[in-house]
């Protein structure tokens, strides 16, 4: 545009051009004045054109510069996708909260797993379902053992009384003699009434009693039976001597919990004497003869002796005193040909406080369940099933009635 205006101005300055143009065909002074005016006007227009050109060029330059600045700003704020991520301090700060979250989640998971594991192995006591205890074969029940009258008498503590069984018919004494209506299929027809058609049962057991009290109970309740009646005696005694009074009172005879072995020595000797006296009383009550089935004492701690596992205080000498009581039971039984130990202690190992621990030395993988009642010291319903079976098997193995 500037070139066109410049050419026009040159033409106007040319005299020939001016004369050839009718509009500017002027003569003399007036012509000169007019030409000067036109020239001045053209110069002003050229100045305006130059100024306009400079403004346009300046605007284009500013636009280009502004575009480049904006592009650089965008590059600083939003790096290109192909560019590697920055690893400066700001990036580290942005990643730090997510790391804290991962650590917190890991700690929460650890606490949760630890809590669930503690509940499973140290708190939970699943009791299981179905038959419990040894399998009893059917062969001994195929024929009657004897037609003579047989009297079953039971003495002892809450185990023989049936505390913890779901009904009276589920007491081990009752199940030993007759099958309950809801008997397990594997035990149908396997009971003493099946082979002893003339059997009578008397249960004199009282929950919470000790061996000191059993001596008196036997003296007060056991009559002298006829010569024709044969006796089967069932006895659980001594367990309350050990566990009472749960550490709530200073240890004493009949409530030894917390005693040292030295303290308990004399009490253990007295227990031996009491057992001997009970056996004498039973033999005297049955002039026609009797068999005495004396249970040993089970251990809810599964042989560990840790009171905390059964919610009781620590008792450093507890296991040794317990073992001495069971040894006394076996010693007395060995001294009498008609006394037989019923081994519920060994049968219950692995079914106490540590029944869920697969690493425990007494773990029972076939039935890793708890056989004790809520009070820790008595059997639950499955525990009574097991006791019934152990008593029954001991009678099968030792009774003279089968001959």
For residue 282, is pLDDT > 90?
A: yes
pLDDT reported for residue 26: 38
Residue range 312-321: mean pLDDT, rounded: 98
Give the per-residue SS3 of the chain. CHHHHHHHHHHHHCHHHHHHCHHHCCCHHHHHHHHHHHHHHHHHHHHHHHHHHHHHHHHHHHHHHHHHHHHHHHHHHCCCCCCCCCCCHHHHHHHHHHHHHHHHHHHHHHHHHHHHHHHHHHHCCCCCCCCCCCCCCCHHHCCCCCCCCEEEEEEECHHHHCCCCCCHHHCHHHHHHCCCCCCCHHHCCCCHHHHCCCEEEEECCCCCCCHHHHHHHHHHHCCCCCCCCEEEEEEECCHHHHHCCCCCCCCECCECCCCCHHHHHHHHHHHHHHHHHHHHHHHHHCCCCEEEEEECCCCCCCCCCCHHHHCCCCCCCHHHHHHHHHHHHHHHHHCCCCEEEECHHHHHCCCCCCCCCCCCCCCCCCCCCCCECCCCCCECHHHHHHHHHHHHHHHHHHCCCCC
Supply the pTM of this predicted model: 0.73
49: pLDDT confidence band, cut at 50, 70 and 90?
Answer: very low
Given a cut of 90, whether residue 277 has pLDDT beyond it is yes
Higher pLDDT, 19 or 248: 248
Residue 198, pLDDT score: 98
88-105 mean pLDDT: 68
pLDDT surpassing 90 at residue 124: no
Q: What is the pLDDT of residues 226-274, one digit of tens each?
A: 999 999 999 999 999 999 999 999 999 999 999 999 999 999 999 999 9
Average pLDDT taken over every residue of the chain: 85
Residue 92 confidence (pLDDT): 56
**Mean pLDDT comparison of 27-31, 107-111, 174-178, highest-scoring range:** 174-178
**Predicted pLDDT at 108:** 85
The pLDDT of residue 82 is above 90: no
| Lowest-pLDDT choice from 90-104, 216-230, 380-394 | 90-104
CATH code linked to domain 119-398: 3.40.50.1110
Work out the average pLDDT over 277-303. Answer: 98
Domain ranges of the chain: 2-56, 119-398
24, pLDDT greater than 90: no
pLDDT (0 to 100) of residue 382: 98
Mean pLDDT confidence for 20-30:
43
């Amino acid at each position: 545009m500037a070139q066109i205006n410049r050419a026009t101005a040159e033409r106007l300055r040319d005299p020939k051009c001016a004369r050839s143009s009718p509009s500017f065909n002027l003569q003399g002074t007036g012509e000169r004045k007019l030409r000067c005016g036109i020239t001045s006007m053209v110069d002003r227009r050229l100045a305006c054109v130059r100024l306009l050109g400079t403004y346009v060029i300046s605007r284009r330059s500013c636009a280009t510069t502004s575009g480049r600045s904006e592009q650089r700003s965008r590059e600083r704020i939003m790096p290109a996708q192909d560019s590697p991520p920055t690893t400066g301090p700001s990036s580290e700060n942005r990643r730090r909260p997510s790391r804290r979250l991962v650590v917190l989640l890991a700690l929460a998971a650890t606490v949760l797993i630890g809590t669930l594991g503690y509940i499973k192995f140290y708190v939970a006591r699943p009791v299981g379902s179905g038959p419990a205890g040894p399998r009893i074969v059917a062969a001994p029940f195929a024929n009657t053992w004897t037609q003579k009258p047989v009297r079953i008498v039971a003495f002892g503590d809450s185990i023989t009384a049936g505390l913890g069984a779901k009904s009276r018919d589920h007491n081990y004494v009752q199940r030993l003699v007759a099958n309950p209506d809801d008997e397990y299929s594997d035990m149908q027809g396997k009971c003493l009434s099946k082979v002893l058609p003339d059997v009578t049962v008397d249960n004199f057991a009282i929950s919470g009693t000790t061996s000191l009290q059993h001596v008196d109970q036997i003296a007060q309740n056991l009559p002298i039976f006829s010569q024709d009646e044969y006796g089967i005696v069932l006895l659980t005694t001594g367990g309350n001597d050990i566990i009472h009074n749960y550490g709530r009172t200073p240890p004493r005879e009949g409530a030894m919990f917390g005693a040292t072995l030295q303290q308990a020595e004399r009490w253990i000797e007295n227990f031996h004497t009491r057992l001997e006296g009970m056996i004498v009383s039973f033999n005297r009550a049955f002039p026609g003869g009797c068999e005495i089935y004396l249970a040993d004492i089970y251990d809810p701690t599964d042989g560990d002796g840790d009171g905390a596992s059964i919610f009781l205080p620590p008792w450093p000498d507890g296991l040794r005193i317990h073992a001495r009581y069971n040894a006394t039971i076996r010693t007395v039984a060995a001294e009498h040909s008609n006394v037989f130990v019923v081994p519920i202690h060994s049968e219950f190992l692995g079914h106490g406080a540590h029944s869920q621990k697969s690493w425990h030395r007494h773990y029972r993988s076939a039935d890793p369940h708890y056989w004790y009642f809520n009070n820790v010291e008595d059997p639950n319903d499955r525990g009574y099933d097991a006791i019934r079976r152990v008593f029954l098997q001991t009678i099968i193995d030792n009774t003279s009635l089968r001959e």
